[in-house]
Structure 1
Amino acid sequence: MIEVKLEKLRNLFREMERGLIAYSGGIDSTLVAKIAYDILGDRALAVTAKSPSLLPEELADAIEQAKSIGIAHQIVETHEMENPNYSSNPVNRCYFCKSELHDTLKPLALELGYLYVIDGVNADDLQDYRPGIQAARERGARSPLAELGITKLEVREIAKFLELSCWNKPAQPCLSSRFPYGEEITIPKLNRVGRAEIYLRRLGYENIRVRSTGDTAKIELPSELIQQFIANTNLSKLIETFQSFGFVYITLDLEGYRSGKLNQVLPRFTN
């Protein structure tokens, strides 16, 4: 089954002839970039958007991963933080983020002669609340993974089959997703969340989130690791470090990490 979907993915790129990849460095867009390069060679270009909502470490990973694939790679800057429709953090914040991204990438693609801007949206993404997908569609972006019904699990299976080193990399959405809807997003807030998550990664915890509400940091990590975290972490040092980043209160979510947790409040906003 994986080999069948992989061949369909390759065939889709053969039909495209050329393509510019919206490349974040996550597993989805990395797989798309890998297939694009394998089929199109120098007719494929990966472009990564640099903004305050992207961790510098994630940008560095994207650069290294692109080098390992061999695909041509370019970095552009996006300015979604200058749009109050984005920084005010409404429930459709991602629409304005992806609008800025694709309003940057589409003219670049046309200028360089690429027929398509191609993203890493997969079939599972279509089942979640993702207003950014609408913005991409409005601007003519294509999503090969979603078009072929390839799920997140299948993305990882195909990436492992192709021996991509990032096949099991945890999802890493933009830092703006760490704030509850309605709370203004600022660059200092993004910076402190980013620094806090990097601190936890360096302690050995990869699949984590630091949710930010006002002056409070709420740490989320897989539920099966909570007791280990409490037992093995120097909590006094952690608190001191987080407070040096600008947080006042530091808490631990006892439910544990769950992707898309902030979206559970959406009925309150939309009803």
Structure 2
Amino acid sequence: MDKLAALQALFAEMDSALVAYSGGIDSTLVAKVAFDVLGDRALAVTADSPSLMPEDLEDAKVQAAEIGITYEIVNTHEMDNPNYTSNPANRCYFCKSELHDTLKPLALERGYPYVVDGVNADDLSDYRPGIQAAKERGARSPLAEVGISKLEVREISRSLDLPWWDKPSQPCLSSRFPYGEAITPEKLQRVARGERYLRQLGLRNLRVRSAGDTARIELPPNDIQAFVAATDLPTLVAAFQDYGFTYVTLDLEGYRSGKLNQELTQQPPLVESR
């Protein structure tokens, strides 16, 4: 049995399911297959908070409508939790705790026996404390359960003619800050504005990392030289300073997903999860 068939079979065993749906490529594939198998017995729910870019929320709405799945938005309040805003190394634990503490009661109230997420097989080998929080609250990860990797998520999405199969990964904005630096709505907003500016230049894979008053732009290594040659750098710097940054730098190593996790060897502050 191929992996798509295995994923379909997994959902066929469920009476109904609520999908924790961010609009990213992983959870969107889960939502697509859940809808194909379960129809109106599948519900996709996006959590809206200051750490989600408005553009990503709009993408989630558009994609859900194209899939046809029933769709709702709920608000989460991780920014009210100092264990989250203090940005310890296990910050994602508190984010996913808030998410699933919101979704699980909703699922039970609506009669959905399962809450499923978009964790894929590759995620299990990375540092992802949020996975622990989801498991503690009974969430399931269909992609990981059938061994679907990130590359296979894209391949399956393409085979299903999903137009966003090559959509860049877009984790929450809080991932742009070094562990231990407090996160505020204002800081999240200036990062969002910086990344929006760069996307308007035609860039897709990028990050604006924020450390204190410094913005560090990360681009794929092969794009760096062309970016410097083609960009009006003084105008860019002025825009970023208007957003609230004092300094604007370019990371010469280039973009690499999860780069800030390399700091974990320096023993950043960790908050007790339980």
> What TM bracket, shorter-length normalisation?
over 0.9
Q: Secondary structure at the match of 2:267?
A: helix
Residue 161 (structure 1) aligns with: 159
Q: Which residue of 1 aligns with 2:119?
A: 121
On the 8 A contact 2:77/2:98 being kept in 1, the answer is: yes
Alignment match of 2:137 (pick from 113, 136, 139): 139
Aligned pairs for 1:6-25 within 5 A: 6-25=4-23
* Superposition deviation, residue 126 in structure 1: 0.2
Q: 1:184 Cα deviation (Å)?
A: 0.2
Structure 2 letter corresponding to 1:57: E
User: Which residue of the other structure, out of 47, 55, 78, is the alignment partner of 1:49?
Assistant: 47
For 1:165-187, what per-residue CA distance to the aligned partner results, in whole angstroms no more than 9, with x for missing partners? 11000000000000000000000
Residue in 2 that maps onto 1:148: 146
TM-score in terms of structure 2 length: 0.97
Residue 232 of structure 1 and its aligned partner are, at CA, apart by: 0.3
| Correspondence for 1:65 | 63
- For the residue of structure 2 that corresponds to 1:207, the secondary structure is coil
Deviation at 1:152, TM superposition (A): 0.2
Please list the CA deviations of residues 120-162 of structure 1 after superposition, one character each: whole Å capped at 9, or x if unmatched: 0000000000000000000000000000110000000000000
The AA in structure 2 aligned to 1:103 is D
Instruction: Structure 2: state its 5+ residue gaps.
Output: 270-274
Which residue identity does 1:40 align to in structure 2? Answer: L
Q: CA deviation at 1:210?
A: 0.1
Residue 95 of structure 1 pairs with residue 89 of structure 2: no
* Aligned counterpart in structure 2 of residue 227 of structure 1, from 218, 225, 228: 225
CA distance in 2, matches of 1:103, 1:139: 8
C-alpha separation in 2, matches of 1:230 and 1:131: 36
Residue among 197, 200, 209 paired with 2:198: 200
Residue 234 of structure 1 and its aligned partner are, at CA, apart by 0.7
Report 1:163-182 matches (<5 A): 163-182=161-180
Aligned counterparts of 2:181 and 2:163: Cα–Cα separation in 1: 36
**What residue identity is the alignment partner of 1:226?**
I
- Aligned mates of 1:195, 1:206 — CA distance in 2: 15
Q: Could you list the per-position Cα deviations for residues 30-85 of structure 1 after superposition, in whole angstroms to 9, with x for gaps in the alignment?
A: 00000000000000000000000000000000000000000000000000000000
What letter corresponds to residue 67 of structure 1 in structure 2?
A
The structure 2 residue matched to 1:36, chosen from 25, 34, 37, is: 34
> Runs ≥4 in structure 1, deviation > 2 angstroms?
none
**Aligned match of 1:185 in 183, 186, 199?**
183
Q: Which residue of 2 aligns with 1:260?
A: 258
- Is 1:111 the counterpart of 2:116 in the alignment? no
Partner Cα separation in structure 2 for residue 251 and residue 4 of structure 1: 46
- TM superposition shift of 1:268: 1.2
The residue matched to 2:209 in structure 1 has which SS? strand
Distance 1:37 1:17 in 2: 12
**Partners of 2:187 and 2:96 in 1: how far apart?**
21
State the alpha-carbon separation in 2 of the partners of residues 42 and 148 from structure 1: 23
Measure, in 2, the Cα distance between the counterparts of 1:219 and 1:157. Answer: 29
User: RMSD of the alignment, in Å?
Assistant: 1.0
For the residues of structure 2 that align with 1:222 and 1:267, how far apart are their CA atoms?
24
Take 1:206 and 1:58, find their aligned partners in 2: how far apart are those partners? 13
Partners of 1:104 and 1:39 lie apart in 2 by: 25
Percent of residue pairs identical: 71
> How far 1:270 moved relative to its partner?
6.5
Matched, 1:83 2:84: no
State the alpha-carbon separation in 1 of the partners of residues 42 and 267 from structure 2. 41
